[in-house]
Structure formats: C-alpha cells, structure tokens
Amino acid sequence: MFDDPFALNSLFGISEQDSSEDSVVDPALEQMYQEFILEASRDPHGKTHFAPDVAQENSDRRENSGDQENQGAQETQGTRENQRSDNLVSASSSQEQSHEYCQADSHQFNPTCGDEVTVRVAIKQEEGKPAVIEQLMWDGHGCSIYQASLSVLHDMAQGKSVDEFMKLHRAFRELMDSRGKGVDDAATADALGDAMAFQGVSRFPMRIKCALLGWEGTRDAVAKALATISPDYQ
C-alpha cells in the first residue's frame, strides 16, 4: 500500500525535497519506520477521553443550575467520567490517606503543528521503594507523529520507575537531537526499542516538536506528581 515512501512523507508533512536530504538511515529501514509510525497512530495506546472543555462545562452548569433534570444528567456524565478513570480516582483517594499515590496532569500545545495533548499520570511510592508510574493516559488531537510517539511512550513508561523513565526521556532527547544519526551507544538504542522508529523524524526540526510533545508532557506531569509526594523533589 505504501510502496512509495513519499506517500508516507505527505502524511507526516514531510516534503519530497526534505526527504532528499542525506541520512544515515537506510531507505528501506526508514520506510519501515514510517509505516510503523503510521500504524501506531491509527491505534494509539493510552489514549482516552478525560479532558473536557472546562469553560463550556462551567457555562452549562450556571445555565442549568435550577433544572433538576439537567442536574441529573450532569451527575450521570460525572459518573461516566469517573468510570473511565477508576484507577486514577482510586489513586487520588489513596493519596489523601497516605501520600503514597498522586495523580497529576500536564497540558501541552505545539503551535507550529496544532498538536494538543493533556497527559495524566498516577505515581505510586511505597516506603523504601522507588516511585513508579502506575498509570499513564492522554487525551488530545494532532498529527500522526505526535500520536505514535505518545503510544510508544505509553507502552515504555507505564510500570517503570521514575528514574527509569527519566533515563528514557534523556535517551529520546538524544535521539531527537541527532539529526538522523541515531544514538552512539548500543545499550541506549536497545533501551529505546520501538522509539528508535523516530530516528528519521529527527532530521526535520518542525517534526521534532511533534515527537517530543508527549514526552515533555509526561515529564512535567511526573514532576508535578512526585513533588506532591516528595516536596523536596526538584
């Protein structure tokens, strides 16, 4: 279906002229990477719906404050929203009791591409053990690269310790700064796993922001959650 690599390039907003730049990525491998990104964006892991339009919700609530039927509908909607994030709601409740859990959000926007995302994480830290990313989910819209990158990140980061995630974040930033050259260390490449598919993306500065958006949002949300659990965390 995608024998022509430029058919994929057009989906990612990469021009034929840009694609003619020198690259250390083998053309066949790069096409495989692009197909992987496209497939990951079609069924992105961790994507859900939890970031409603708060301004619109507040307006609706004021208009319908005296209407019992509408109030009931709002309560039903709230119940559905709670059901979509049962685990995170439970984590937030546990935090109030023991400070072992914390949930935090981070909203990110890429004005050059229009990508927009809210990343939500739940952190668990038991006494004497490292903090762990118990859950990572996100809600937003944008290009194939941004959604595929977040899908890969979801699979890599969920269940990892915060320290392990931060190492992955640094490795992915190194990959994105490589201008298509990849990473020098074989162990780093192995740790990145499927994220190495974005090596070719790193040749295009406008697309690097797309690939990094979810990673930066996750790092921000993790920092916020961990700071609540450990006030001395920087």
Candidates 51, 10, 67; CA nearest to 34 is 10
Q: How far is CA 69 from CA 3, 66, 74, 76, 182, in A?
A: 56, 9, 9, 11, 58
- What is the fold of 24-50+87-229? Sufe protein. Chain: A (3.90.1010)
Q: CATH 3.90.1010.10 residue ranges in the chain?
A: 24-50+87-229
* CA atoms of 125 and 27, how far apart (whole Å): 44
Q: What is the pLDDT of residue 193?
A: 93
Of 101-105, 133-137, 170-174, the least confident: 101-105
Higher pLDDT, 168 or 80: 168
Q: What is the pLDDT of residue 52?
A: 56
* CA atoms of 4 and 197, how far apart (whole Å): 18
Looking at residues 16-24, what average pLDDT do you find?
A: 45
Q: What is the pLDDT of residues 153-191, one digit of tens each?
A: 999 999 999 999 999 999 999 999 998 888 888 999 999
Candidates 116, 107, 166, 182; CA nearest to 143 is 116
Of 97-106, 126-135, 180-189, the least confident: 97-106
Rounded to the nearest 5°, which phi and psi values hold at 125?
-135, 110
Average pLDDT, the chain: 74
* CA atoms of 234 and 26, how far apart (whole Å): 41
Q: How confident is the model at residue 7 (pLDDT cuts 50, 70, 90)?
A: very low
